[in-house]
Amino acid sequence: MVFPMVLLRLADWVLYQLLANSCYRAARKMKNYGFNLSYKSSQQTSSFPSVTKCGLVGRGSETLVCDINGVLLRTHSFFPYFMLVAFEGGSIFRAFLLLLSCPLLWVLDYELKLRVMIFISFCGLRIKDMKTTARAVLPKFYLENLNLHAYEVLASTGSKVVFTSVPRVMVEEFLKEYLSVDDVIGTELHTVGHYFTGLLSGSGLLLKHRALKEYFGERKPDVGLGSSGLLDHLLISLCKEAYVVNKEDNKSSPSSVMPREKYPKPLIFHDGRLAFLPTPLATLTMFMWLPLAILLAIFRLSVGILLPYKLAFLLGIWSGLDIRLKGSSPPKSDQSKGVLYVCTHRTLLDPVFLTTSLGKPLTAVTYSLSKMSEIIAPIKTVRLTRDRKQDGQTMHRLLSEGDLVVCPEGTTCREPYLLRFSSLFAELADEIVPVAMNTHVNMFYGTTASGLKCLDPIFFLMNPKPSYHVQILEKLPKGLTCAGGRSSCEVANYIQRQLGEALGFECTTLTRRDKYMMLAGNEGVVHDNKTKKH
């Protein structure tokens, strides 16, 4: 009898909270749209000037304070970033639970909404996984949503302090690494051992204006940036100068969008599976698509493995794959040796799509390919050992047997950059054909640094309309090969520049090791069981 009474009391309390908050929200809306509308709106719009009115000259010695939510970021809702933590740091089940909470979040006030999102996203989450998400996943989405006007004001000042009610662990890495913020004061989360509990620390939700007073004492910051909300008005009213970022400007003004060329730091590496900002509607669309996506990926994979190249090509296009081939395979000048195709590396499927596009069998050499990927590969794959002498002998033998595909970057890169090319391939062949490969996805990335690599092809093929563009360039003239007197490094650098120009990508000197150390904290090498025993 006690248990039903407890459930009844709990249901009564939840109903009361929902109704109370709903009535409160309705009353506020009626008040806003009633007799007090003109007074309130005029006061908020005229209190502080727009951020576009802030001068940028001579502020190198000044101190600026602001928030990231609704000020530095154009999106006012922080839900998509909690969804990224739930999906990328947690699991798909945690992400689905957060999506189910959306109707509840709509009726809650700001503080309760934040507490619910924090609890669902962080309860039981490993601190290590959150750090990886903050370093490798979130910066891409923050950069894409930066407000250009707010960032220019931030960058013009000498000292920068961010006060925010969102969890500090979600924003600190990005703010310090990409925006050179000196200090981040945010909501602290409670932890037990190596896990978050989903609860706030003893200090509770951060009150920005109170935290500013505690941080600066009697001293006033020089510049304050805030949104049009009341809490931000309290924060920036404590500064010598104050400017607001209007919600209307954030949503509709193209001039507030941060172009890639103005990023404070180039975005070359990032991780995670989601290729879109997971707003509630976009996330709902993804979950509705998932059952069909899995079936579609299995169909596309089976077609590529079981059917002849031409039929697989046609059925792939019929299923929604966008495959475009430009150029053709050049004739061989030496029939006793195969042609070496040198490709840019976008996904594990690069050699497969090149083979299918050309309609002839090719052998692909790989580094650290998982056993599952080797099993399901529809073409012959040979694993290299990273021992230069041994790998050279292996590739030389394979070229004597037929045509070969190599990706000298050694790892995939999602952004429009090319990593440094290994020069080993240039020492082994005179018949070298550069191939510019590029892909585009709109839902899932088909690459990962810290996840299960065996699922990379599946995720790529789960996209509604993934595209693969294959551009075969002219065969390298003999005078530009090692046989023509060029060094292997010169040949590798020349091909990198040639492919970069064909794709419109920027060439870098970054390597595979740089990528994995940044994204996963390791060198990205998959060891065999035999290697581990030794």
pLDDT surpassing 60 at residue 269: yes
Look at residue 14 in the predicted model and tell me its pLDDT: 44
**Least confident interval from 283-292, 427-436, 494-503:** 427-436
What pLDDT score was predicted for residue 331?
Answer: 80
Cα 86 from Cα 138, distance rounded (Å): 12
Residue 55, token pair as written in the block: 């001068």
Q: What is the pLDDT of residue 99?
A: 98
| Helices 37-47 and 2-33: angle between axes, nearest 10 degrees | 80
With CA atoms as reference, report the closest residue to 512 among 400, 404, 405, 418: 418
Closest Cα partner for 275 from 447, 92, 441?
441
The pair of structure tokens assigned to 509 is: 């000197």
Task: Quote the pLDDT of residue 507.
Answer: 96
Percentage of the residues of the chain whose pLDDT score is greater than 90: 66
**Does the structure show a pLDDT above 70 at 44?**
no
SS3 414: coil
Amino acid occupying residue 236: I
Residue 410, judged by CB atoms within 10 A of its CB (0-12, 13-18, 19+), counts as: buried
pLDDT at residue 334, as a whole number = 67
d(CA 193, CA 204): 20
pLDDT band at residue 289, thresholds of 50, 70 and 90?
very high
User: Where does 186-227 have alpha helices with state H?
Assistant: 208-216
**How high is the pLDDT of residue 382?**
87
Among the listed residues 135, 366, 406, the one whose alpha carbon sits nearest the alpha carbon of residue 271? 135
User: What span, in angstroms and rounded, lies between the C-alpha atoms of 51 and 245?
Assistant: 6
Q: Report which of residues 20 and 109 the model is more confident about.
A: 109
H runs (alpha helix) in 237-378: 247-252, 280-306, 309-318, 350-358, 371-376
The pLDDT of residue 326: 94
| Nearest of 406, 401, 407, 322 to residue 357 by alpha carbon | 322
32 pLDDT above the threshold of 50: no
User: Positive or negative, the Cα torsion across 279, 284, 289, 293?
Assistant: positive
Given this model, what pLDDT does residue 250 score? 61
Q: How confident is the model at residue 532 (pLDDT cuts 50, 70, 90)?
A: very low
The average pLDDT across 159-178 equals 97
pLDDT at position 230 is 86
pLDDT higher than 70, residue 40: no
Residue 11 has pLDDT above 70, yes or no: no
